Amino acid sequence: MKVLMFGWEFPPHISGGLGTACYGLTKGMSKIDNLEILFVVPKAYGDEEKQTIELIGAGNIPIKVTKLGINAPWVKKLEYIEANATLIPYATPEEYFKLTREKTEGRHQFIHQDEEGYIQFSGKYGKDLFSEIYNYSIVAAKIAEQYDFDIIHAHDWLTYPAGMAAKYVSGKPLVVHVHATDFDRSGGNVNPDVYRIEREGLAAADHAIAVSNLTRNTVINNYGVHPDKVTTVYNAVEPSKVKNNGTRDSNMDEKVVTFLGRITMQKGPEFFLEAAKKVINRMDNVRFVMAGNGDMMQRMVERAASMNIMHKFHFTGFLKGDDVFKMFHHSDLYIMPSVSEPFGISPLEAMQSGVPVIISKQSGVSEILKHAIKIDFWDIDKMANAIYAMLNYPSLSDTIRTKGQKEANNLRWEESAKHVYNIYKQFVN
Amino acid sequence: MKHICLYFQVHQPFRLRNYSFFEIGNDSYYYNDFLNESILQKVAKKCYLPANEVIYDLIKKHGNKFKVTFSITGSALDQFELYAPEVLESFQKLAATGNVEFLAETNGHTLASQVSPELFKSQIKEHSERIKEYFNQEPKVFRNTELIYSDEIGREIYNMGYKGMITEGAKHILGWKSPNYLYYNTLEPRLKLLLKNYKLSDDIAFRFSDHGWEHHPLTADKYANWLSNLDEKEEIVNLFMDYETFGEHQWADTGIFNFLKEFPQAVMNHSDFTFETPSNIIEKHQPVAGISVPYPISWADEERDITAWLGNDMQNEAFNKLYELAPKIAHITDDDILQDWDYLQASDHFYYMSTKWFSDGEVHAYFNPYVDPYEAFINYMNVLSDFTIRVKQNVPDNTDNKQIEALNDLMIKKETEINELKVKIKKLQEQNRKLKEKENLMNSSNSKNNAGNKVLN
């Protein structure tokens, strides 16, 4: 069975959980016999792939097929395709308008619209996002013509149009994978254009995969998708690169409580801050760290200052790569107070690193975790109570640390991949 | 002479309210009154009252051939008084028939047997006194919390003056032996043991309404036939279960009350068994062998051990922190603190912290106010933190304590010294007085003599 898979980002160039999840899932799937994956992204960066780039020109759209240079056995099964990175951009919004309007007239019309036959992608979230999404779908249609495959799999709304185009051209079944909806990202203040794309993608799909029951319910209730058409497949976590037996890398007598993620409304940073204040009022040997950045950062700094706790509350700014693991290593407790979290892989990474976690009940991952404290994101008192208990009753944090580490290490992408494969089999004979 | 011992456990713990760490040191009321009251009244209505009535009628009908045994914990008695005094009355009515025996146990349904013999003993004494007060009976047979038993516990119990003890007929201690005989403690052979027949007990307590069970539906006649098919020589069948089996674990519409109503008659029709209480069984039967139990057993889970209460680090931390207070508590006379001390020791609190049933929490989820063991532990520890503060305020720390004790001793010594001296002074004064009197007397007689002499002269 061959899968044509559309993603938006791929490690190491990732800006969020989507890339991590795609990477983990495809890696898990590569272990399944008789399953091949063609993975398509809008842009490959060429920093690590250069030596193995292979160009396949076809029709008027130049397409590069990239074999990833990562030295891992599973990569052999993955063909990594990207549109040529040196493409000439379309010039005006009118062009973009023409392009999209033509879409309804037939697949070949796409191609002719661009005089040069090239389409530019940045692969980043930006202001031309919508045009990029549609351009991606044009290339997708072309790829669908050129390659043989049995099923199409599109990750999140950015790639739904690509998936739909590929389905349109090939007539092959389409599975869309919902990692998040705009209800999660916007906190209910939904962007109508994004919503439309999500809704169209879900309607066009033969089946949808949601990363949690929480997300599945959103898909059913807010997008009008029949429950039989949506299956929950939980994410997992890559085996930890850093070995950690739970001993903390700090000579401080103080306990460190960490929030790590985008400082945006979706992640609930203000609840973390308010709970921190309550704990600081009751105990002395504790520090709170808010790692990350985002549009609420300034507000959080101001609030912390006005509460007069800046001597105990620290902002690190954006952390990447190994710094994340270092941060875990310095932490006694990790908190994810997300207001709406379709899944949430980062607590699993914390648990792997031997850090006990407190997570909000409004997260998909709370549906599968047993060895974590679960609270409502708005329940600051309960959050503070749980933080206090974790720092003051040693057997609690010890138990959650050891049992949680085991639990996180048992969540394998191979299992998620098998689950996805079983869904494919319903549509492919 | 064949006997069935029908024994029911009656217990309700004082469940804790949501107690946040902000309240430590500020608020010392720990209980969820609403929850405790509503559970108790629900169970009273569905189980205690109707089941007591059925048993009362059965006693009236069968006379001395039907007897039952209860153990009621101190916290259950407290809750009856608080929330449903009619339940207490109906138990008293049963007690008055003379066909009902009440067993001794620890007053607070505690794990004191795992702490110290002194504490264990004082709690049992307290409970027996209350049973005497309510039901006018002096318990002669003991049942430990959750039927926890070991050779050592048995010996302690015998030394406290009890003649028998009931416990689980656990497979791993019985081996090939049958639970259907009287046994004795190997350290103290005069202590008799009644062992629960867990198969026949659980047929009623757990499997009665199980539609997947091959013997469902269970009728009194069917059950009585099983009894009559037991080995001819087997003498005693011990059916031990939670009283809440009737009407609560097994709802009324499963037919459990009808089963109970017909059970004695069916037994008497189909077999030569009659119903007897533990203290009579001990008198009437001879023990067949000793049972050696070096490590504590209980009636819980497949393992029949005590890991449901003291099986993980959290349970051990809570348990140790609680009982660290025991020496201080011995100095305390404050009623509120002593009552909290009793209620906080209930084994239920530790049970809620068990991580054994993350997958199959069914039986254990019953009336459990917590979502998971972590929440149970956090809440208990917050309460215990506040309680510890109160105890320490009431009884200062060890070093201070010793100083105070030393000063106390000194004062007592001085006082006795003073008293002794006072007595001495008194004596001396007395002597002094007598001496003076004598002198006076002598003087006056002298003067008289002198006078006489003068006269004579």
Task: Please say whether the beta carbons of B389 and B24 come within 8 A.
Answer: yes
Q: Please name the residue of chain A whose CA is at the shortest distance from the CA of residue B378.
A: A389
What is the rounded average pLDDT of the residues B170-175?
A: 92
Q: Look at residues B364, B89, B105, B69 and name the one whose alpha carbon lies nearest to residue B241.
A: B69
Number of neighbouring beta carbons within 10 Å of residue B31: 17
**pLDDT range class, residue A44, cuts 50, 70, 90:** low
Q: Which residues of B touch A382 (CB under 8 A)?
A: 20
CB-nearest partner of A385 from B20, B355, B358: B20
Higher pLDDT, A429 or B430: B430
Q: Look at residues A210, A388, A362 and name the one whose alpha carbon lies nearest to residue A285.
A: A388
Task: At B106, list the tokens.
Answer: 């620890």
Cis before residue A12, ω within 30 degrees of 0? Answer: yes
**pLDDT range class, residue A24, cuts 50, 70, 90:** confident
Q: What is the DSSP letter of B45?
A: I
Q: What H or E segment, with its residue span, contains residue B242?
A: strand B236-242
Q: Looking at A161-170, A297-306, B360-369, which range is the least confident one? A: B360-369
Is B378 within 8 Å of A399 when comparing Cβ atoms? no
Q: How many angstroms separate the CA atoms of B238 and B78, rounded?
A: 28
Cis before residue A337, ω within 30 degrees of 0? Answer: no
Please tell me if residue B22 touches chain A, with a CB cutoff of 8 Å: yes
Q: Which residues of A touch B22 (CB under 8 A)?
A: 278, 282, 381, 384-385
What is the rounded average pLDDT of the residues B232-241?
A: 93
Is B355 within 8 Å of A282 when comparing Cβ atoms? no
Q: Residue B360 contacts by C-beta under 8 Å, 6 or more apart in sequence?
A: none
Average pLDDT, chain A: 78
pLDDT score recorded for residue A60: 30
Q: At A222, which amino acid appears?
A: N
CB-nearest partner of B378 from A282, A370, A389: A389
Q: Is B146 part of the annotated catalytic residue set?
A: yes
Q: How many angstroms separate the CA atoms of A353 and A324, rounded?
A: 11
Q: How many angstroms separate the CA atoms of B13 and B349, rounded?
A: 8
Q: Looking at A99-113, A363-377, B12-26, B259-273, which range is the least confident one? A: A99-113
CB-nearest partner of B381 from A370, A389, A403: A389
User: In which region does residue A344 sit, left (phi positive, over 0), alpha (psi from -120 to 50) or beta (all else)?
Assistant: left
Q: Which residues of B touch A385 (CB under 8 A)?
A: 20-22, 378, 382
Q: What H or E segment, with its residue span, contains residue A154?
A: strand A151-155
What is the rounded average pLDDT of the residues B344-361?
A: 83
Q: How many angstroms separate the CA atoms of A278 and B405, rounded?
A: 41
Task: Tell me chain B's radius of gyration from C-alpha atoms.
Answer: 31
How far is C-alpha A39 from the chain's CA centre?
16
Q: How many angstroms separate the CA atoms of B442 and B448, rounded?
A: 9
Q: What is the DSSP letter of A112?
A: H
Higher pLDDT, A55 or A422: A422
- Taking only the tens place, the pLDDT of each residue in B119-143 is 999 999 999 999 999 999 999 999 9
pLDDT score recorded for residue A241: 65
Q: How many angstroms separate the CA atoms of A209 and A352, rounded?
A: 26
**pLDDT range class, residue A158, cuts 50, 70, 90:** confident
In the set B101, B105, B146, B168, the catalytic residue is B146
- Taking only the tens place, the pLDDT of each residue in A53-73 is 222 222 233 444 433 333 444
**pLDDT range class, residue A108, cuts 50, 70, 90:** very low
pLDDT value at A92 more than 50 = no
pLDDT score recorded for residue B399: 65
- Taking only the tens place, the pLDDT of each residue in A337-378 is 999 999 998 899 999 999 999 999 999 999 999 999 999 999
pLDDT value at B354 more than 50 = yes
Q: Please name the residue of chain B whose CA is at the shortest distance from the CA of residue A372.
A: B374
What is the rounded average pLDDT of the residues B338-364?
A: 83
Chain A residues with at least one Cβ partner in B under 8 Å:
278, 282, 370, 373-374, 381-382, 384-386, 388-389, 392-396, 398-400, 403
pLDDT value at A222 more than 70 = yes
Task: At A396, list the tokens.
Answer: 């609690």
Q: How many angstroms separate the CA atoms of A61 and A83, rounded?
A: 8
Task: Please say whether the beta carbons of A391 and A397 come within 8 A.
Answer: yes
Is A282 within 8 Å of B21 when comparing Cβ atoms? yes
pLDDT score recorded for residue A194: 86
Q: How many angstroms separate the CA atoms of A328 and A256, rounded?
A: 10
Q: How many angstroms separate the CA atoms of B128 and B74, rounded?
A: 10
Q: Within A283-425, where are the H helices?
A: 297-306, 322-329, 346-352, 380-392, 394-409, 413-425
**pLDDT range class, residue A219, cuts 50, 70, 90:** very high
Q: Please name the residue of chain B whose CA is at the shortest distance from the CA of residue A375.
A: B375
Q: Which residues of B touch A386 (CB under 8 A)?
A: 378
pLDDT score recorded for residue B236: 95
Q: How many angstroms separate the CA atoms of B67 and B101, rounded?
A: 8
Task: Tell me chain A's radius of gyration from C-alpha atoms.
Answer: 23
Please tell me if residue B314 touches chain A, with a CB cutoff of 8 Å: yes
Q: Within A231-373, where are the H helices?
A: 269-282, 297-306, 322-329, 346-352
Q: How many angstroms separate the CA atoms of B418 and B425, rounded?
A: 10
What is the rounded average pLDDT of the residues A223-242?
A: 90
**pLDDT range class, residue A95, cuts 50, 70, 90:** very low
Domains of chain B by residue range: 2-307, 314-398, 402-457
pLDDT value at A396 more than 90 = yes
Q: Chain A: give the shortest CA distance to residue B21, in Å.
A: 6
Task: At A414, list the tokens.
Answer: 């191979």
User: Helix B85-96 vs helix B117-135: angle between axes, to the nearest 10 degrees?
Assistant: 80
Q: How many angstroms separate the CA atoms of B400 and B3, rounded?
A: 58
A64 DSSP β-pair partners: A55, A82
Task: At A166, list the tokens.
Answer: 């590929």
Q: How many angstroms separate the CA atoms of B204 and B259, rounded?
A: 9
Q: Look at residues B328, B322, B335 and name the one whose alpha carbon lies nearest to residue B394.
A: B328
pLDDT score recorded for residue A402: 94
Domains of chain A by residue range: 2-236+413-425, 255-409
Q: Chain A: give the shortest CA distance to residue B114, in Å.
A: 20
- Taking only the tens place, the pLDDT of each residue in B69-96 is 999 999 999 999 999 999 999 999 999 9
Q: Which residues of A touch B317 (CB under 8 A)?
A: 393-395
Chain A and chain B share a number of CB contacts under 8 A equal to 55
What is the rounded average pLDDT of the residues B449-455?
A: 55
Q: Chain B: give the shortest CA distance to residue A391, in Å.
A: 11
- CATH classification code of B2-307: 3.20.110.20
Please tell me if residue B34 touches chain A, with a CB cutoff of 8 Å: no
User: Residue A173 half-sphere exposure, CB side, CA atoms within 13 Å?
Assistant: 17
Q: Which residues of A touch B318 (CB under 8 A)?
A: 395
Q: How many angstroms separate the CA atoms of B382 and B30, rounded?
A: 10
Alpha carbon dihedral B138, B144, B145, B148, in 10-degree steps, equals -170
Is B314 within 8 Å of A393 when comparing Cβ atoms? yes
Question: Does the model's ipTM exceed the 0.85 cut?
Answer: no
The beta strand positions in B248-326, using DSSP E, are: 250-251, 273-275, 289-291
The topology under which CATH files domain A255-409 is Rossmann fold (3.40.50)
Q: Residue B344 contacts by C-beta under 8 Å, 6 or more apart in sequence?
A: B30, B322, B380, B383, B384, B387
pLDDT value at A83 more than 50 = no
- Taking only the tens place, the pLDDT of each residue in B266-322 is 999 998 899 999 999 999 999 999 999 999 999 988 889 999 999 999 999 999 999
pLDDT value at A91 more than 80 = no
pLDDT score recorded for residue A11: 66
CB-nearest partner of B374 from A382, A394, A396: A396
Q: How many angstroms separate the CA atoms of A74 and A413, rounded?
A: 13
pLDDT score recorded for residue B344: 97
Q: What percent of chain B has pLDDT over 90?
A: 81
pLDDT score recorded for residue B450: 59
**pLDDT range class, residue A124, cuts 50, 70, 90:** very low
Does domain A2-236+413-425 correspond to CATH entry 2.40.160.20? no
Q: How many angstroms separate the CA atoms of A313 and A281, rounded?
A: 13
What is the rounded average pLDDT of the residues B229-258?
A: 93
pLDDT score recorded for residue B366: 65
Q: Please name the residue of chain B whose CA is at the shortest distance from the CA of residue A389.
A: B378
pLDDT value at B387 more than 70 = yes
Residue A35 vs residues A7, A66, A425, B335: alpha-carbon distances, Å: 18, 19, 11, 72
pLDDT score recorded for residue B335: 94
